[in-house]
Structure 1
């Protein structure tokens, strides 16, 4: 905003509140004038109002000295000097004037009330003046807002230009995506020194498409390019082009490039370009003409007859598969930069960037936090640091310690604690054995990820949870690990059956069964890990759906093959169930020990669980929790109503 914008005009045009106030004041004044012009009571002569019959009586009595007669009113004075007025009859009284003459009353004519030429003109022109004033105000607002999406500016571009005043972002603020940053480094060098490439006949790519999951830093990376090069940065969303009127989007594309030409060299960033750049003809004959015209205009502007030198288009999407091929050909978006989720080293760098703004305690270790957050994007890590700072603030601390980061990580990954949730002793005991079953099977499965934490405190939709974290980032999973995950997933259900009996198995393993079934289905239909089915893909391909139609062909298989796939999925899941029964049957004492500890302490770390299984002391003070005796298999316990949903997820994080 410049200085002129800050100073209101004399008429209040610079202040919207003052402008609205003046409009209402003008309307009220016009209404008051209108009422005054038609209120004849305020414009008649002074004097007492008398009835017409009384006036005639006074004339007959000879007490009237003079009168002034008009069409609407008769005013006059009595011989005693008293003023009066009266209203004549609608029908003219032809005997009035002779009677007045006979009684010696002075008679004169009175001008018609409101008969002024100016007043009459004002009354006639008032509606037109009001209409003209309102029209002038509306047109002025249209002109003022024409560049910002006003009523007369629907064809104007909605791109916003960000300058250095709004916070300069450089590559130092972008961490964890070194490969993507290096690919875009030459774009920065071109914007700084175009002649360096022109001397050798090289041309910089006109468009770069950033592809990555939500939250990986695509927008931040685009702003860093502009910040490093020190050029204007225009940003717009793909949905800002599309309107219900055909041709508006194309007009906005033309206007956006006209603005960019005036500020060249510059960067135009289009976020979520798949909103306007989807594959043409996907509507099966009922395509969106407006969207297709907008896409056509964008294609022409990027690589048409008129070259847009110095304008680099950077777009972002997480659905590159739905983009039109013409948009990805060389000369347009001819470079695709993949922005992946960061690995452990990238997460450390991202955490360090966000931790610069937070006062940290000496015990905070970014590597430990990064190891415990596999699969987190940059946005997830920023949220984690913010949650830790909020947790420390609620506790009244001045520094954010490792404890707050652990609590924030549990809240982000598992949900907030529901300590106010009332659970019976039987529900707590069943939850403890359910989670202990997951943990014991995980400990005795060599291919399973190590346990990070086990808890029976309700979080989110779960009544308890066993969290496992991989020792390092994994990009593929082996067969032995998949079978281990199936056994761990079935461990909770098996523990309920072993301890409480067949009839007391609850619905708490629904999430575990869903995970195990999905994993077994992928093993059979996607990854070819069934000897009977073979290395053949039978999974339904993931394609774009439009109005119920899928762009991908459905999988064709015989009834015998479908039955074979169902049998193999069932056999694999039941194999995990059998393995869980075997492990828990061999280590039933460890199951009792761990469940009893969960009832006493509610939450145990992975190291504490290892020490407990090894028979070592946990080193914790006794919380004094009173727990009842442990029911063994076949012992009858009261049946209680359990909430639906999983006790906890046995799935590894990031799978």
Structure 2
């Protein structure tokens, strides 16, 4: 991919314009100087009285009398000039008496032009400055004071880096779905001769980071046609009618470059359902959407213009935008599976010098749920770690450390915990791990640590053995029990009065999971398979609000069912840990000694009572409390030792 940066010696556009106007001003000054010099009299300037006295003395040889000046020569040949005073009728008589040769001189036109130029020069300079300032305002912000209605769409060319389908991996189905558009742009007659018409629009739907924008650029790179790109938010302004004008201007530009592709990123910013909300901002958005609908499929057809849009919120788009004739196809760009992740890693690893022990397949299997952007970030983090360690090649160890950093957060070994806090955290994580091992439906443990990572003082990270596309009731119940394992361990070892706030994120996770099981997934026998809550304006757990669909009596029953599930998980975790309290002590002591244990080491410890690796020096003890933990991008993790928010 070529470098898009401008050369360092390229002048700034603002400075370039300033230099142009400076040259024009200098030219005007030069013109004034030329005109002024051309009309300026030569010789010594004398008064009119001295001139008459010299004539009377006989010192003047000849003169030219003009309407506003008199030019002549003394007897020794020296030139002079003077300005007459009024209309002197006696001057010619004086000249005749003293034998002075004289003649008349016509008025010089250069003086008139000079006068006009001098009078109009300030006005011209004011106009030039105003025009220059207005031009700069219009350049900045894409439209400026006189160009609100101009489109902000940018035309990308091959100079900015050509992307092909070889750069897109892990989303083979989506790529094949859009391959037909590329073939049409290359050979439109192949389809038109059979009466076929290319889809006018394709909507790319997928989670953030799955490669929707990259896929759109690959289509343009393969088809080798002009590619306009714009964001949905670029259409909407505070002034009503501006967005519609920008839509019209964008399609006019596209028509001039047809066949072409227009890519609208985050189209949900302008394509939301009409009729929702109040105020002028909503009116402006709806007018913009109406104009977009007309341009895509209205009375006049836009031949050769293919609209590709991307969004991660297809549920909020207006139905008129999704109908055939506008966005004929909805192409789902999913999170890649293990094979797709391996291909994506191979693409990004081309730019990194790899050690022989790097195995992309192993990394792909250990990163379920990662999107293309997450995998690119993983490779970059591994390269940065190798650079900090002064290595020439990026080894498998760097990828493993980078994976742990991305999934669980960066290690915070500089924190200093007291021995009591460290012991509390060790038993908390040991409780999670021991319940997980005893739950057959639970995912295998990837790693358990009491080293602070991110916002948690310790955590147990679990990873599925394969990609999961749905979850079963037994697995949800196992996750509830595992989430309660840390709290139960604290209760058993330290007593009811010494229970800490470290289970805050565990309780939140368990409550949300139980609520979804009861209200959305129909997993409550008392309430039946009915929907009692649904996500609105966002997904539950990710900033979305909830719309309830039940009465007060049903609400009490829902709360009772949620409590029943969570308390049942608490009882299951209590049963496991009390029956295997010796193993709880064993696992907690191992965490205190080694600080971090892998899943295989935990299984080996529980089976044989020891770990086959040399003891490591313990890190320093820790410090300040950490605020709540975040949800991992892949797998499940249960943290411990957190302080309550605001502590």
SS across alignment from 1:452: strand
Q: How far apart are residue 20 of structure 1 and its match?
A: 6.6
The residue number in structure 2 matching 1:653 is 635
Q: Is the 8 A contact 1:268 1:312 kept in 2?
A: yes
SS across alignment from 1:316: strand
SS across alignment from 2:175: helix
SS across alignment from 1:537: coil
CA–CA separation in structure 1 for the residues paired with 2:281 and 2:142 = 29
CA–CA separation in structure 2 for the residues paired with 1:176 and 1:490 = 37
Q: How does 1:376-395 map to 2 (within 5 A)?
A: 376-395=370-389
Q: How far apart are residue 654 of structure 1 and its match?
A: 6.7
Match of 1:574 among 563, 567, 591: 567
TM-score when normalising by structure 2: 0.78
Q: How far apart are residue 18 of structure 1 and its match?
A: 8.1
CA deviation map 1:319-363 (0-9, x unaligned): 111111111111111211111111111111111111111111111
Q: How far apart are residue 284 of structure 1 and its match?
A: 5.2
1:171 to 1:125, Cα distance in 2 relative to 1, 3 A: closer
Q: Is the 8 A contact 1:392 1:398 kept in 2?
A: yes
Match of 2:403 among 394, 405, 409: 409
Q: Is the 8 A contact 1:208 1:313 kept in 2?
A: yes
SS across alignment from 1:184: helix
1:281 to 1:590, Cα distance in 2 relative to 1, 3 A: same
Q: Is the 8 A contact 2:210 2:372 kept in 1?
A: yes
The residue number in structure 2 matching 1:476 is 470
Q: How far apart are residue 649 of structure 1 and its match?
A: 7.4
1:253 to 1:311, Cα distance in 2 relative to 1, 3 A: same
Q: How far apart are residue 392 of structure 1 and its match?
A: 0.6
The residue number in structure 1 matching 2:65 is none
Q: Is the 8 A contact 1:508 1:644 kept in 2?
A: no
The residue number in structure 1 matching 2:18 is 19
CA–CA separation in structure 2 for the residues paired with 1:525 and 1:300 = 41
CA–CA separation in structure 2 for the residues paired with 1:386 and 1:251 = 42
Match of 2:310 among 284, 308, 316: 316
Q: Is the 8 A contact 2:533 2:549 kept in 1?
A: no
1:254 to 1:470, Cα distance in 2 relative to 1, 3 A: same
Match of 1:601 among 594, 602, 626: 594
CA–CA separation in structure 1 for the residues paired with 2:630 and 2:155 = 47
Q: Is the 8 A contact 2:407 2:633 kept in 1?
A: no
TM-score when normalising by structure 1: 0.77
Match of 2:147 among 143, 150, 153: 153
Q: Is the 8 A contact 2:413 2:620 kept in 1?
A: no
Q: How far apart are residue 646 of structure 1 and its match?
A: 5.3
Q: Is the 8 A contact 2:483 2:510 kept in 1?
A: yes
Q: Is the 8 A contact 2:407 2:632 kept in 1?
A: no
Structure 1 ranges of 4+ moved more than 6 A? 5-9, 12-15, 24-27, 116-126, 647-652
Q: How does 1:484-563 map to 2 (within 5 A)?
A: 484-543=478-537, 554-563=547-556
Unmatched tracts of structure 2, length 5 or more? 1-5, 30-110, 638-647
Q: Is the 8 A contact 2:150 2:245 kept in 1?
A: yes
SS across alignment from 1:288: helix
Q: How far apart are residue 424 of structure 1 and its match?
A: 0.5
The residue number in structure 2 matching 1:348 is 342
CA–CA separation in structure 2 for the residues paired with 1:651 and 1:497 = 30
Aligned residues: 546
RMSD of aligned alpha carbons: 3.5
Q: How far apart are residue 592 of structure 1 and its match?
A: 1.0
The residue number in structure 1 matching 2:625 is 643
CA–CA separation in structure 2 for the residues paired with 1:136 and 1:287 = 32
1:652 to 1:119, Cα distance in 2 relative to 1, 3 A: closer
